[in-house]
Every structure is written in structure tokens, then in C-alpha cells.
Amino acid sequence: MESDYWCCIVTRDGAETIGATMDSITLQTVPPKFIIVINDGSSDNTELIAREKTKTFESIFIINTNSKTRDIRRVPSLLNIGIEHSKKLSKTKYMMVSGDDNELAQDYAKKIMEGMDGDRIAVASGDWLSSGGRSNQMPHGGGRFVKTDFMEAIGGKYPVAYGWETWLLYKAMQLNYKVKLYHNLRYKHLRPFRPSNLFNWGRAMYSLGFPTYFVLMRFGINFLWSSRGTQSMKATVTMLVGYLQAKVNPSALKGMLIEDEGLKTFVRRFSAARLTRLL
């Protein structure tokens, strides 16, 4: 299979893991045409390690920022920088999104593209959760493949707002595309999972337009699964607090929320249909 994707890696202070991540990507049975590394104000040796990898894989482009902002919305703005830079290079059928601590199966990219080719799948990923973890049918963030034509159809960039990552999935479904999580394709995170941003996940649910009854249902399910999944009881409560705080005082998040009312209507309908199926 011919390479028909590029990879965007977003990193900050990722020196401990970015080398292994880049090796995992460049040594794929179908490697990317090029890699764009967005080094977001790292204070360690992240840039040095990334540049060292150009000795064995020439098509690596490193973009440095001087930002120290740690807002969750920083990631979509960095991905947008990568997307803009990719336009100066060759167009590919897919974009792969990676953090700086992913380790992929060697045939990961090949199998993802084989699954997405010839079908109306706009976004797909493998699964990183262990067999004891709880996972649904939504693609994960690391190792995510996005079809370029779909991305261009929705404006060619991510919204710099809470909920940006899930926005991509629901936007695909709103436009009658499919999203796919391949449970049999494995990857892992090289750093432990830290649910410290669950508060912002709650804000994201409000930003996307999830109705309160659905959020409460999710809270109950997550609470029951907390001992087997990726979220502790404390983290689950934190997510609910984030949602409720945003709902009570949305003016505090002015300019940080998704403004796509058509998408929010779709999310509300999707939530109602999903609840009906569960009942």
C-alpha cells in the first residue's frame, strides 16, 4: 500500500517519550509522507530529540511556539497550525493525529487506511484501553486518522473551543459520515493516564450541547464503572461539576464555547436516541 497520509504530533516537554513515539510512526509498514511536529514551548530536550530523528526520516518539519498557555483549547490551535503548514507540502488522503506518548502496532496505519478506504468513514482510530477498561465506539484522540476531504468540507480546521475533539466526531455523523473505533488495532500511551482535565471534559459536554439528563446518565454509568475504567469516582464527579458550572454560568466561558447551533441540535437528538436504545 502506498503512503497516503501525513502525521501531526503535538508536544510540550515530551522528551521522555517523543523519541519512541516518532520511531513508532516512522517505522510503520506504511510510514507517513511527512511528519509535522508542533513543539509548544517545551523547556526540555523535545526539539533536540525530534531533530535527531531527521537523520533517519528526512521529511520531518518542526514548528516551535513560545507559548506557555495550558488551556485545553491550546491543542486545537496547534493542530490548526500543523494543518496550515501541511498545505505547503503534498496533499494526502488522510491526516493522522498523535500525541507525544503513543506507541503503535507496526501495521497500525496500514490497517486503519484499509478499513477506511472505500467506506464513508471520516474519522477512525485503534483502541488503547486494556480489556478491563470501558470503551465505546468513538475513536480515541491519539492515533486518530481523519479523511482530508471531510476536514476540508467542514472548514479545514478545528474550533478553538471546549469540546473541539468530540466536535469532529459529531460533525462527521451530522453530515452522514461514519466514525470507527477498531478494537482489534492496539496502541498504548507511554505515560500513565491522568484524568486531571475531567473538569474541562464537563465543560466540553456543555459546549457541545449535551442535555442535562444525558450528562447525569453518563455520570451514573461512569460512577459505576470507575473501578474498571479510566476514571476514578472523584474524576467522574469533577466532570459533572465542570458541566454544571458551565451551565449555571456560561458567560464565564464567553468565546470558549462551540457556536455551531446545527451541531448542538444534532447532539441533542443523538443523545435522546441513544438513551432510548439503552432503555
pLDDT category at 184 given cuts 50, 70, 90 is confident
pLDDT category at 225 given cuts 50, 70, 90 is low
Percent of the chain with pLDDT over 90: 67
Contacts of 158 (CB under 8 A, 6+ apart): 76, 77, 79, 80, 164, 165, 167, 168
Whole-prediction pTM value? 0.90
We find that the CATH architecture of domain 5-189 is Alpha-Beta Complex (3.90)
- Computed over every residue of the chain, the mean pLDDT equals 89
> N- to C-terminal Cα distance for the chain?
44
- Mean pLDDT on 180-205: 83
- Mean pLDDT on 246-275: 92
Residue pair 247/188 in contact (Cβ under 8 Å)? The answer is no
* Domain locations in the chain as residue ranges: 5-189, 198-278
| pLDDT score recorded for residue 278 | 58
d(CA 18, CA 10): 10
Q: Which three cell numbers stand for residue 225?
A: 464503572
Question: In 53-197, which ranges are continuous DSSP H helix?
Answer: 74-86, 108-116, 148-153, 164-174
In terms of Cα–Cα distance, which of 181, 162, 158, 160 is closest to 171? 158
Q: Is the pLDDT assigned to residue 160 strictly greater than 90?
A: yes
Element (H, E) at 276: helix 261-278
| pLDDT score recorded for residue 235 | 74
